Amino acid sequence: MSPASWEIKSQRDKRILLAVITPPDLGVSLDFAQNMRNLQLPPGSEWMRVIGLPFGPARNQAAKTALDTGYQLAFLDADVRVKQDAYMILSNTGLDLVSGLYFQRFYTPPNIGYLPCAFNAVRDDKGNIQKIPIAGWSPGDIVPCHFVPSGLTIYRRRMLEKVFERYPLPFMWGVDVAPVPDYGGQAIPFSEDFAFSWKAYELGFQGFVHTGVTGLHEVRAVVGPRWIVPMPGPDPMTGVCGVV
């Protein structure tokens, strides 16, 4: 293969379809819109806006579009703001499933605080899977984790193909795949992104969070039928808030 041909293939392999997942009310903040205009993507990349669908069906639609059109898949949720080069850095890792770091919008009592939106899995004495926060990392580390969020994330084609071979609709709330007991002893579901990353993990694809690529979880974004309102926190810029 000539150097020119190798370069063309390399660029084609890195191009992504960035799916912007917008809540059913179609709204995004002004800060998000300005941020989106300045975003850097690998050469040949495209973006699409998915609106008016629940998060699971929206992500399944975007993933199928990426597979059908020859792109890697990336997501940017409409309540997450990122730096201009976030997807360039994530793409250059070459990892099959890698997310940037952003934090939950709610406080976890007692005295736990605002956790990263990424977790590992442990089993209790009954064999049930439970989430535990990622730990022992320093800013800039690329941390392996079982449950990877989708708000600022890249999925490589080879992994998507394997997951879709096994699961026709892999982005679905996952009570039947990985039930987790809540404090009342009842099974509660994983969100569609955590359910996907668990399915990928079971098929041999380790997920990662790049803690050097950070996003802001916006406090005033509307992400569903309930309003998100600010709450006091150690750093308001992390976008921590409560749901009412």
**Average pLDDT for 108-131:** 80
d(CA 61, CA 197): 17
Q: What is the pLDDT of residue 181?
A: 40
**Average pLDDT for 162-171:** 93
Structurally, at CATH architecture level, domain 3-243 sits in: Alpha-Beta Complex (3.90)
| 72 close to 16: Cβ distance less than 8 angstroms | yes
pTM over 0.75: yes
| 210 close to 98: Cβ distance less than 8 angstroms | yes
For the chain, the straight-line distance linking the first and the last C-alpha, in angstroms and rounded, comes to: 58
Band of residue 16 on the pLDDT scale cut at 50, 70, 90: very high
**Average pLDDT for 87-109:** 89
Q: What is the pLDDT of residue 31?
A: 64
Q: How many residues in total does the chain contain?
A: 244
d(CA 209, CA 96): 11
d(CA 75, CA 137): 24
Q: What is the pLDDT of residue 219?
A: 63
Q: Which of 69, 78, 67, 22 is nearest to 44 (CA)?
A: 69
User: pLDDT tens digits for 177-209?
Assistant: 444 444 344 444 688 999 899 999 999 999 999
